[in-house]
């Protein structure tokens, strides 16, 4: 729920902000505060900011870039702190700093409506993000967009049309690496770390059958029976009915089954990816152990 200053009397508004029931989203706009995990709260706040912006700004505007990515349900490493919009007129020098305004022309088929908000389409959003975000964040969005149905051919054609524009070369590299089979931002970040060190995994979402059960490994080299699993916090809070101990038990049994079947499983966390030297060294060691000759990078 989003309230503008005129929606509540001043006394009620000040009391709600003071007690933490409402938070200021932007000048003259306030949103409810939810007791949820921090990353979920950040996404809710960004969504509230868009609703407030849509009510307050004179149009026409379309939410774009990372704001549109959020509305499309695409994975984001960092929910947008500012609200991104695309408009057809140049912003004034006194424009609200909580809003980032873009003016790249919109063509037919570039816009749609989601949750009653005007927004750029999945195709346009993906290319905008790919051209403006750092490589890892751009790749994360593109992986999610491909999983939602964007095709490499459509995205490539859009980039070809923009040849020479700022960011197209970086976007093209990210698109060449993007993969619809990636199921989380952590898996994208793992693959990105490997790519940056010259390591290309041969398969994603590897099916493995053991004597006990069937499993799927995030990524790796099935020809060498080497798998990499990303361990994120969400795995241990959302699975097994929210019982982390049960998830740990299941993961231990799964690890044992895979190792009995001859697999080496390398586990990686966000902390490992922030300082990847040890993780990359272990991958090289395992590849060299199982290859007949030093693994070529």
CA 122 – CA 145 distance, rounded (Å): 7
In this prediction, residue 294 carries a pLDDT of 53
Which residue is listed with tokens 């197209």?
168
Residue 181 sits at φ, ψ, to 5 deg, of -80, -10
186-290 carries CATH number 3.40.960.10: yes
In this prediction, residue 228 carries a pLDDT of 96
In this prediction, residue 34 carries a pLDDT of 62
41-75 pLDDT, tens digit each: 888 889 989 999 998 887 799 999 999 999 999 99
Q: What global pTM score does this model have? A: 0.82
The separation between CA 231 and the C-alpha centre of its own chain, rounded to angstroms, equals 16
In sequence order, the 6+-apart residues with CB closer than 8 A to the CB of 167 are 130, 131, 132
84-96 pLDDT, tens digit each: 999 987 766 566 7
Q: Which residues of the chain have pLDDT under 50?
A: 240, 297
In this prediction, residue 152 carries a pLDDT of 95
In this prediction, residue 165 carries a pLDDT of 85
Taking the domains of the chain in order of start, what are their residue ranges? 34-180, 186-290
């Amino acid at each position: 729920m989003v309230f503008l200053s005129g929606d509540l009397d001043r006394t009620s508004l000040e009391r709600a902000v003071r007690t933490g029931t409402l938070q200021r989203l932007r000048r003259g706009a306030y949103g409810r505060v939810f007791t949820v995990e921090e990353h979920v709260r950040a996404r809710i706040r960004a969504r509230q900011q868009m609703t407030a912006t849509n009510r307050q700004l004179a149009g026409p505007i379309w939410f774009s870039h990372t704001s549109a990515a959020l509305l499309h349900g695409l994975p984001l490493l960092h929910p947008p702190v500012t609200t991104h919009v695309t408009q057809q007129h140049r912003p004034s020098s006194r424009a609200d700093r909580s809003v980032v305004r873009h003016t790249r022309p919109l063509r037919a088929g570039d816009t749609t409506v989601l949750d009653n908000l005007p927004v750029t389409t999945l195709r346009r959003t993906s290319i905008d993000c790919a051209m403006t975000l750092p490589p890892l964040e751009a790749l994360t969005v593109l992986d999610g967009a491909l999983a939602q149905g964007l095709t490499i051919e459509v995205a490539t054609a859009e980039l070809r049309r923009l040849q020479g524009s700022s960011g197209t070369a970086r976007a093209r590299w990210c698109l060449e690496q993007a993969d619809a089979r990636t199921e989380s931002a952590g898996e994208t970040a793992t693959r990105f770390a490997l790519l940056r060190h010259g390591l290309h995994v041969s398969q994603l979402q590897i099916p493995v059958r053991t004597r006990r059960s069937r499993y799927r490994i995030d990524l790796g080299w099935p020809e060498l029976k080497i798998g990499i699993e990303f361990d994120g916090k969400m795995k241990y809070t959302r699975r097994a009915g929210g019982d982390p101990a049960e998830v740990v038990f299941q993961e231990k049994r799964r690890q044992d089954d895979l190792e009995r079947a001859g697999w080496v499983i390398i586990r990686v966390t966000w902390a490992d990816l922030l300082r990847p030297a040890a993780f990359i060294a272990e991958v090289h060691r395992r590849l060299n152990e199982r290859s007949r000759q030093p693994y070529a990078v």
